Structure 1
Amino acid sequence: MAELRAVLFDFSGTLFRLDEDDGWFAGMDGVDEAVQAELMDRLTHPTGPGVQMTGPAYQAWLNRDLKPHLHREAYLHVLTVSGLPARHAEALYERVIDPASWTPYPDTVQVLDGLRADGIPTAVVSNIAWDIRDAFDAAGTGADDYVLSFEAGVMKPDPRIFQIALDRLGVSAEETLMVGDSDENDGAAAELGCSFALVDPLPTSERPTGLLDALREWGLAL
């Protein structure tokens, strides 16, 4: 294996997480803890909507991370079909796309800052339809580049999105590690020759050193 010279990271469930906040559901009658948990799962599920969909709605879901308006349409459909009144669905959706709602994992700052200090460039490669850079700014850290599906026009697991990141960082796949929480989406970087480290998208309070541990297994001790 070539020496690792760069690291790519997924965003949701890897560097940051949309941790459940009971306050988001205040005033929503009939939304108990079980329903809240189900709704949060549907909002953060990487592969499926979890509800029945018409043809047009399903197409919006499949392409939601390429266009902001499709993202909004898809998730509002999921929330309203799940039983939320439209006004509550709108309010909850606005929380989802608010960078302030996203919590960095306890070791995110240490990892990104540590890699930069060691001269190892990083990029965030994310299927997402809104700009996440403010979340990093609020955390006081950041990557060297961001390859976001709605800007790049391509989504994981399409290898082209990883190639964009490699080209921007000026590194080869063989000397790059991809870190993510999805074998299907993030693991597709291996098709280009990248190494891959899988992390568990646990609540942030339950995964204090997941990123550090993943990097250590590949010889990157910070």
Structure 2
Amino acid sequence: MKPIRAILFDSGEVLMRPIAPADAPPEQPWRKYFPGPNFEAMVHAKYPGIKLDGLDGAILLGMEELDRLHTQPIWTPEEEVGHFDEFYRILLDALGVSDPGLAHELARDRVYEPEIEPYPDALEILDRLHDSGLVMGVLSEAWPSLELNYSRLGLRDYFEAFIISANHGILKDDPKLFSIAQSRMNVPAEETLFLDDWAPYVQIAIDCGFQGAVVARDPGVPRTEGLPYITDLTEVEELALQ
């Protein structure tokens, strides 16, 4: 195994966490980010008596549309608002509310209001890894506002490359995204460590020639045999600087 010269991070559940996470089972960490931290307050402000019993199913319907729209490359937060307009329109319809205006308000809140924060161990580790001379990048199945959030938090400059799946119109299970990441990092895949909280993505990275490890911050996450696991970012130094 070659020495590590670069680290490619997933964002959610590796470097970042939602400010106000929704309840989510360990095997569905993405669910923490939906329907968004201000959704219930904004909906109840306009429809005080609305029942949200069917919210989980409504989110899944909206996610089907987001996945379909993800095949259309977008680069700006305003384009992202358009995608989330559709997501919230479908979600509200499933809850019995037809209100395009509210859907648009929810979409803009989702895109432009802060909703993520770094894990406590992220800042210190990023500083140390950066000072060690390692090349660092982010590869995330996300939308353009993610980079905006990193800039807002003062973290964007840590990373040589920032690869967002929506910019390329492909989901993270497509090996093409890892090829794009390797090109942007300008370090051979076999000298790059990829970190993700989702084991299948780590396996794809390994199949593409990267080194890889699963970040399992939640001890309840089922483990995939044959893949290395770490429980927090302090262990990254042991992998990268050994």
Under a length normalisation based on structure 2, what TM-score does the superposition of the two structures give? 0.67
Q: Which runs of 5+ in 2 are unaligned?
A: 22-36, 219-230
Kindly name which structure, 1 or 2, has the bigger radius of gyration based on alpha carbons. Answer: 2
1:1-222 to 2 correspondence within 5 Å? 1-20=1-20, 24-26=39-41, 28=44, 29-30=48-49, 50-51=60-61, 58=64, 60-64=66-70, 66-67=73-74, 68=79, 71-83=83-95, 85=97, 86=99, 87-98=101-112, 100-142=114-156, 143-200=159-216, 210-213=232-235, 215-216=236-237, 218-220=239-241
**RMSD, aligned α-carbons:** 3.3
Please give the alpha-carbon distance, in whole angstroms, between the structure 2 residues aligned to 1:26 and 1:133: 26
* Aligned residue identity for 1:61: D
Amino acid of the structure 1 residue aligned with 2:41: A
Q: Is the 8 A contact 2:143 2:165 kept in 1?
A: yes
Question: One-letter code of the match for 1:8?
Answer: L
- Alpha-carbon spacing, 1:94–1:200, altered in 2? closer, same or farther (3 Å): farther
The farther-off stretch of 150-159 and 85-94 is 85-94
Q: 1:131-164: CA deviations, max 9, x gaps?
A: 3223222322231211112223433111121121
The sequence identity of aligned pairs, in percent, is: 24
8 Å Cα contact 1:18/1:101 also seen in 2: yes
Say how many residue pairs are matched. 201
| Alignment check: 8 A CA contact 1:10 1:186 kept | no
- Counterpart Cα distance in 2 of 1:80 and 1:180: 32
In structure 1, stretches of 5+ residues that fail to align are 43-48, 203-208
CA distance in 2, matches of 1:186, 1:88: 38
Deviations 1:75-130 (A, max 9, x none): 22452145274354443333332362211111222222222111001111112222
| Cα displacement (A) at 1:23 | 5.5
- TM-score, with length taken from structure 1: 0.73
Q: Deviations over 1:39-90 (max 9, x none)?
A: 6x98xxxxxx523x7xxx9465334374445732552245214527435444
